[in-house]
Amino acid sequence: MTAGSDRIPLVSLQGVTKRFPGVVALADVSLDVREGELHSVCGENGAGKSTLMKVLCGVITDYEGDLVLRGSPVRFERTRDAEAAGVGIIHQELNLVGELSAAANIFLGRELRNSLGLLDDRAMESAAAALLTELECHIHPRQPVAELRVGDQQLVEIAKALSLETEILVMDEPTSALTTAEVERLFRVIGRLRGAGVTILYISHKMDEIFHLADRITVLRDGRLVDTLERRQTNPREVTHLMVGREIEATHLDEPRQPGDVVLSVDRLSLPWPGHAREWRLQDISLKLRAGEILGVAGLMGAGRTELLECLFGCSAERPVGGIFLDGREVRLFHPSEAMEAGIALLTEDRKRLGLFDRMTVKENLTMCVLGKTTVMGFVHSGRENGFAVDSVNRLQIKTRGIDAPVTSLSGGNQQKMIIGRWLLTKPRVLLLDDPTRGVDVGAKAELYRLMDKLCREGLGIILTSSELPELLTVCDRILVLSEGRLTAEFSGDEATEEKIMEAATFGPGVGRSS
Amino acid sequence: MSLFGRSPLTANEMGLLGAIVLVLVLTTLLDGNHNYWNEPWLSAEDIARQTALLGIFSLGAAVVIIAGGIDLSSGSMIAFSGTICATIMVLLAPDAMQNAEPLGLPIIVLAIVGTLVVGFLVGSLHAWLITVVGLPPFIATLASLVGLRSLGRVVCENVTEVQFGGKSSQIQIYDEQFRYLATSVWIPVVVFVVLTVCVWLLLGRTVVGRHIYALGGNEDAARLSGIRTGRAKWLAYCIGTMTATIAGILFIGDQSVADPQTLGRGYELNAIAAAVVGGCSLQGGIGTAPGTALGALFLRVVIDGVAKIIKTGADVYEGLIVGLVVVVAVAFSKFRERR
Amino acid sequence: MDFSLRVSWSFFSLVVLAILASGCGAKESGGGTEDKATSASSGGTPASSEETSSAPSGGKRIILITNGNSPFWDACRYGMQEAASELKLGDVGMAAVMEVNDGTPSGQLDKLRQYGSQSDVIGVAMSAVDANNAAVAAAMSKLRAKGIHVLCLDSDVGERFRDARSHYIGTDNRIGGRELGAAARKLLAARGVMSGSYVQFVGRTGAQNAMERMDGFKESVGAVYREADRMSDETDRTRARENVRNAMRNNQDLKALVGIWSYNAPAIVDVVKEQNKRDEYTIVAFDAEPIAVQQFSQGFLDAMVVQNPYDMGYQSVRLIKALVEGDSTTVAAMFPDAGKENGDLYDTGLKVVVPDEKSPLKPEDFGKKTQFMILTEFKAWLDKYGLAGS
């Protein structure tokens, strides 16, 4: 299906501007989408991609500028209007009702009724079944969607969009939670959709997907449209460059670090898993961490990486068995406060939910763990508190309006830095980082890597988990691999490759263990 | 959130102060007899005492709410602690109590101290139920709401039967010294002001106070930041019950009777209303002591205004108007927050 | 979004304005405060003198405070309104209003304190719900010190607090109790019941009128019969009925049921009817609520001692007006023994009502000051005053 470049664009956004209190999310963006194309929209976090899509789909209704659909200007008052006009969106966080069945979700709000006016479940289920088969989805339409894998849930949403006869489908980071097989299935489905004439707007970070699927690529940066390119006329490096505005070199380390003495040692750590067939969440994990070293932990989702870090921080669901030694002395960690006192710090995976005090200021968030050091005669001394906060902001170069600004005014990357700052104030010996660069844009990621390197040179030991293998390979001195709660491999930085890690992560214990 | 160090009052509190003045002016104008204008001191005394009595245990309610919990048992705690105080006095000096003779300062002091200890125990019980047993605060304090009052009645009937020879559902208090604690206007007011300052300092300037805000704002993040959330909750719930205890001691002096059946019925909702009007969020993590104090003052000023304007039968309208006022006050502050 | 917000606010403001308007209009009100249960309706009390009783701003108020809510007080209110119109209160800038209490001493305490800060109150007549409450007595004394006249009606304060009020208008409750006891004794004897127990039912055992009636009853009915219990219900009608049921269940030798406050009689009769046990018990009670009068005609009550709440209301207003105007003649006429012991008590009188001439009770069984009536005569008396109950 050729994208007719000389016909009237199917969708045209003209001069769209959206302001929120304190920030301009979109500034005068004009974008044309041709009928039948797959148009990819890229940008860093905070570039405005989601906001633009929300304008298109009727989620955001008060904006400046025009939306022109098939040549005539429209103004959506609510998402229903957008749906009626043929625009649908598959959100990154899926919009399904977990307790209802797949069929019920597909027909939510437009339920089929029988002659008596009651729900006609049969008709809905058979219609749903037909749609799902087309999408290679082999689930029973009556199954509650909460029980489905994420990949299948996503297809239920696509089926819903199809049943609405969507002509313009927006897909927001659709592959972030899919397995390789599911990704390939999704691509086949996209191919079928395109064959049926659906125009697709595809939001993603991932260059390989974009360059596999897209006809044209639009890059947004800081709320402005930077450029729209034909895919065939550009390359990933150029697109990345446009997204960030500067060249991203591969992070070079000036000189390799020399690890010092063993600061943390774990001896046959096991974490019970009551009520499960496997009985142990983690089994017989032993490791050593040296000062000045970055130790990576790789593994699939559910392998136990987060649980391992939780055990080392005293916040695991059950009490672990086994020995944890700090500087040679055994420590018992039953509560995060004890871990903190011992000199261990943890940055959690879900920083919004578990790391931020969203009703407090930047200063209050930063000093939360070291308030005891700011007191004079039992009362918190604001001078000292401010001192700590300003120090942190400067040291980590956290971009903020001021230390008294609400913490919610910080961008994602700066919030992450702020949390690191909070823990650095406790002068830890060991820093545990659980997927620290998830949801952080490319520029901020590089800053974080440099920071980690710096901290190690100052004598900290870091344990880092990540799902991105290239990241682990770039940053870590050694990499451990977990699979189903067991340690299956240990590689030094030089000998590790993506294949080896993947093998150890998927094939279970006993394979690929090196020195 | 306002901390002592920047401007002492937040925008919400300034607004509340303005609203109080507005209601006072309105009442003066609409009251046929212009009582506020002609004899301000009489009304001021009354309002001051009522505000102090309400405000004392509203502060406790606010601390619990800021810590992310809720305490439904304040009213029953007032009844229970009042009964315990009277019970101690009856046990130590049965003849004096029955014959309306003075008790003497030592017995009064002992009774007050004993009651405070009981208050601390009940607060610890709440904290235990919530942190160790794992009950939701709503359920744990709801159980107290019903249980404490009933326990108070049992205690009252047993003690009066044993000491006076006849079961009674209430214990009369005649001792003038003890009653002076409440009938003199200035003692409750001073207690209230001192408590407000103490809570203000605790919440705004101490480490554990900051931990309470953190706990209320995001309990998981607080725990993962090394805060001992169990201990912070213990402190919060103890402050909740001990302020109710102090209020209970003052109430029985004010009413000169300890009646566990009727004392303090429904008061917990007034306390929560005062806290919410004063800026506390029921989700936790937000609120201040001066705000709550102003909230209590605002409620009492409105109630007195209603009584002055409507004169006869004003108590019929009291609940309705207080409810309306609370809704308007909270909606107004939410509205301003959104802009 | 904006539109619906505006609509909500407009609707809201209208509601608020409506309430305030109705509030300002209701100067004369006597609606129940936190009523724990609905009282029996009193149907026939006319509201003819409403207009003359409403308080103009700048006018003075005479306030009657009840101990709870019941048709007894409706009769009292009627007397108050009749006094207001007959004595032409409006012409001298006065008005009489009734405030209903929630059954607790703290409710009365709050009201008394509120009057202290309102300059238009000239006299208060209160039925003290708790005779020995020092705080209430102190509040009453404070009002007197301000120059406001304070009386007790229907139920007095305790002995030690007599100084808190200037006079008492109401029934001599001791005598009332004794008369009821005498009636009960004669009725039981007439039935051949020479032993057994009885239970007395009342709102609050701490009220002076309650204590005196119950003690009087006990004295008079004789030691032959055992007082099994005195059960209080705190003016909660549901509890009143529960108490009767429990009494019947817990006392195997129960022979008589005694109602002390006005709504206890209907409560007793309801339960007796429900359990079909009319023949097992002798039922005597105080006061004649309209429902009780009806039940009496149907034969469910054996005797009633009836107070005169109408007169209580009437005389209270009359006395306060006289005190305010310095009318010593009227005061002396009402209190001929002023200065002597119990000279500050005005007895509004008692009636004993029996179903018909066939009742074993005769006028000789009762005191000279007590009026003896049969039901038909009593009903005629009610009609004469336009009352539905007393």
Q: For C383, phi and psi rounded to 5 degrees? A: -60, -40
The residues in A 162-221 lying below 8 A from B, measured between CB atoms, are none
CB contact under 8 Å between A336 and B211, yes or no, is no
**pLDDT, position B34:** 81
The boundaries of the domain holding residue C194 are 173-306+350-385
Tokens linked to A382: 């604001």
The residues in B 191-250 lying below 8 A from C, measured between CB atoms, are none
Tokens linked to C25: 């209009």
Residue C105: which of B35, B257, B316 has the nearest Cβ?
A: B257
State yes or no: pLDDT of C36 exceeds 50: no
Q: Is residue C142 part of a domain?
A: yes
CB contact under 8 Å between B226 and A360, yes or no, is no
Residues 6+ apart with CB under 8 A from B311: B32, C27, C55, C61, C118, C120
Q: Is residue C234 part of a domain?
A: yes
Instruction: Report the residue of chain B nearest C24, measured CA to CA.
Output: B310
Question: In CATH, what number is assigned to the domain containing residue B165?
Answer: 1.10.3470
**In total, how many domains does chain C have?**
2
Whether A308 and A442 map to the same domain: the answer is yes
pLDDT tens digits, one per residue of A264-286: 999 999 999 887 767 788 999 99
**pLDDT, position C34:** 35
Whether C354 and C379 map to the same domain: the answer is yes
Which residue spans within chain C are E strands per DSSP?
60-65, 94-99, 121-126, 149-153, 167-170, 196-202, 225-232, 254-259, 282-286, 303-306, 345-347, 351-354, 371-374
Whether A40 and A116 map to the same domain: the answer is yes
> By the 8 A CB rule, do C171 and C352 touch?
no
Q: Is residue C334 part of a domain?
A: yes
Cα distance between residue A260 and residue A254, in whole Å: 18
Name the most confidently modeled range: A434-438, B113-117, C187-191, C290-294.
Answer: B113-117
Whether A188 and A319 map to the same domain: the answer is no
pLDDT tens digits, one per residue of A449-465: 888 998 999 989 999 99
A348 and chain B: CB distance < 8 Å anywhere? yes
Whether A106 and A24 map to the same domain: the answer is yes
B271 and chain C: CB distance < 8 Å anywhere? no
Mean pLDDT of C249-254: 91
Residue C23: which of B45, B256, B317 has the nearest Cβ?
A: B317
> By the 8 A CB rule, do B127 and B237 touch?
yes
**In total, how many domains does chain B have?**
1
Whether C213 and C143 map to the same domain: the answer is no
B5 and chain A: CB distance < 8 Å anywhere? yes
Q: Which of A142, A166, A148, A165 is nearest to A94 (CA)?
A: A148
> By the 8 A CB rule, do A15 and A30 touch?
yes
Q: Higher confidence at residue B194 or residue C2?
A: B194
Q: Is residue C49 part of a domain?
A: yes
**pLDDT, position A163:** 83
Tokens linked to A294: 């970055």
**pLDDT, position A336:** 94
**pLDDT, position B86:** 96
Q: What is the signed CA dihedral for A502, A504, A507, A511, rounded to 10 degrees?
A: 150
B205 and chain A: CB distance < 8 Å anywhere? yes
The residues in C 221-250 lying below 8 A from B, measured between CB atoms, are 232, 234
Q: Is residue C136 part of a domain?
A: yes
Cα distance between residue C267 and residue C286, in whole Å: 12
Mutation test of the interface with chain C: which of B89, B257, B324, choosing the one with the most C Cβ atoms within 10 A? B257
Whether C247 and C367 map to the same domain: the answer is yes
Q: Is residue B35 part of a domain?
A: no
Mean pLDDT of A484-500: 85
Question: In CATH, what number is assigned to the domain containing residue A473?
Answer: 3.40.50.300
B324 and chain C: CB distance < 8 Å anywhere? yes
B189 confidence band (pLDDT: 50, 70, 90): very high
**pLDDT, position A277:** 67
A406 and chain B: CB distance < 8 Å anywhere? no
Whether C212 and C322 map to the same domain: the answer is no
State yes or no: pLDDT of C2 exceeds 80: no
Q: Is residue A125 part of a domain?
A: yes
Instruction: Report the residue of chain A nearest B281, measured CA to CA.
Output: A359
C114 and chain B: CB distance < 8 Å anywhere? yes
DSSP state of A119: B
First-to-last alpha carbon distance for chain C, in angstroms, is 59
Mean pLDDT across chain A: 85
CB contact under 8 Å between A380 and B207, yes or no, is yes
Whether A98 and A213 map to the same domain: the answer is yes
**In total, how many domains does chain A have?**
2
Residue B206: which of A315, A348, A378 has the nearest Cβ?
A: A378
Kindly report which listed range (B90-99, B132-141, B186-195, B196-205) carries the lowest average pLDDT score.
B90-99
**pLDDT, position A513:** 39
Residue B312: which of C29, C160, C206 has the nearest Cβ?
A: C29
Residue with tokens 């207080």: B322
ipTM computed for the complex: 0.85
**pLDDT, position C54:** 43
Q: Is residue B34 part of a domain?
A: no
Mutation test of the interface with chain A: which of B201, B210, B288, choosing the one with the most A Cβ atoms within 10 A? B210
**pLDDT, position A48:** 82
B168 Cα to chain C: minimum distance (Å): 9
Q: Is residue A332 part of a domain?
A: yes
Residue B285: which of A359, A379, A380 has the nearest Cβ?
A: A359
Whether C107 and C233 map to the same domain: the answer is no
Which amino acid does the sequence have at C257? L
B46 and chain C: CB distance < 8 Å anywhere? yes
The boundaries of the domain holding residue A311 are 262-343+428-506
Q: What is the signed CA dihedral for C284, C289, C291, C295, rounded to 10 degrees?
A: 20
Q: Is residue A173 part of a domain?
A: yes
Q: Is residue C322 part of a domain?
A: yes
Q: Is residue C19 part of a domain?
A: no
Whether C245 and C379 map to the same domain: the answer is yes
Question: In CATH, what number is assigned to the domain containing residue C375?
Answer: 3.40.50.2300
Q: Is residue A414 part of a domain?
A: no
CB contact under 8 Å between B205 and A337, yes or no, is no
Residue A354: which of B5, B205, B221 has the nearest Cβ?
A: B221
pTM value is: 0.78
Cβ pairs bridging A and B (under 8 Å): 73
Please identify, among A195, A214, A244, the residue that sits at the C-terminal boundary of a domain.
Answer: A244
Whether A337 and A222 map to the same domain: the answer is no
| B1: chain A residues, CB-CB within 8 Å | 359-360
Please identify, among A194, A213, A244, the residue that sits at the C-terminal boundary of a domain.
Answer: A244
**pLDDT, position A353:** 81
The boundaries of the domain holding residue B151 are 11-28+41-338
Name the most confidently modeled range: B144-158, C8-22, C49-63, C331-345.
Answer: B144-158
Mean pLDDT of B249-254: 95
B218 and chain A: CB distance < 8 Å anywhere? yes
Cα distance between residue A503 and residue A509, in whole Å: 10
Q: Is residue A378 part of a domain?
A: no
C88 confidence band (pLDDT: 50, 70, 90): very high
**pLDDT, position B3:** 44
Tokens linked to B282: 């029921």
Q: Is residue A399 part of a domain?
A: no
Angle at C327 between CA C325 and CA C330, to 5 degrees: 135
Whether A166 and A285 map to the same domain: the answer is no
Percent of chain A with pLDDT over 70: 92
State yes or no: pLDDT of C45 exceeds 90: no
Which amino acid does the sequence have at B198? C
C133 Cα to chain B: minimum distance (Å): 6
Residue B32: which of C32, C58, C114 has the nearest Cβ?
A: C58
Q: Is residue A395 part of a domain?
A: no
Cβ atoms within 10 Å, residue B150 = 14
Tokens linked to A470: 């290239």
Whether C360 and C273 map to the same domain: the answer is yes
B126 Cα to chain C: minimum distance (Å): 29
B233 and chain A: CB distance < 8 Å anywhere? no
Whether A47 and A160 map to the same domain: the answer is yes
Percent of chain B with pLDDT over 90: 66
Angle at C277 between CA C276 and CA C281, to 5 degrees: 155
Q: How far is CA B217 from the centre of its chain?
A: 23
> By the 8 A CB rule, do C159 and C181 touch?
no
Residue with tokens 């009342």: C202
CB contact under 8 Å between A371 and B218, yes or no, is no
Residue C119: which of B35, B255, B309 has the nearest Cβ?
A: B35
Whether C219 and C257 map to the same domain: the answer is yes
* Helix spans in B218-313 (H): 219-224, 229-255, 267-277, 289-310
B173 and chain C: CB distance < 8 Å anywhere? yes
For chain C, how long is the longest CA-to-CA vector?
A: 82
CB contact under 8 Å between A422 and B225, yes or no, is yes
Cβ atoms within 10 Å, residue C132 = 23
> By the 8 A CB rule, do C210 and C260 touch?
yes
**pLDDT, position C18:** 67
Q: Is residue C233 part of a domain?
A: yes
B174 and chain C: CB distance < 8 Å anywhere? yes
Q: Is residue A43 part of a domain?
A: yes
Whether C269 and C331 map to the same domain: the answer is no
| C105: chain B residues, CB-CB within 8 Å | 255, 257, 259
B169 confidence band (pLDDT: 50, 70, 90): confident
Residue with tokens 């999408």: A135
B19 Cα to chain C: minimum distance (Å): 17
| A313: chain B residues, CB-CB within 8 Å | 224
State yes or no: pLDDT of A153 exceeds 90: no
Which amino acid does the sequence have at C102? D
**Per-residue CA distances from A334 to A225, A324, B226 (Å):** 51, 12, 11
Cβ atoms within 10 Å, residue C122 = 21
Whether C185 and C249 map to the same domain: the answer is yes
C147 and chain B: CB distance < 8 Å anywhere? no
Residue A125, CB-side half-sphere exposure with 13 Å CA sphere: 12
Whether A232 and A267 map to the same domain: the answer is no
Angle between helix axes A442-457 and A236-244 (nearest 10 degrees) is 80
B201 and chain A: CB distance < 8 Å anywhere? yes
CB contact under 8 Å between C206 and B39, yes or no, is no
CB contact under 8 Å between B100 and C114, yes or no, is no
Mean pLDDT of B263-275: 92
Whether C51 and C122 map to the same domain: the answer is yes
Whether C213 and C253 map to the same domain: the answer is yes
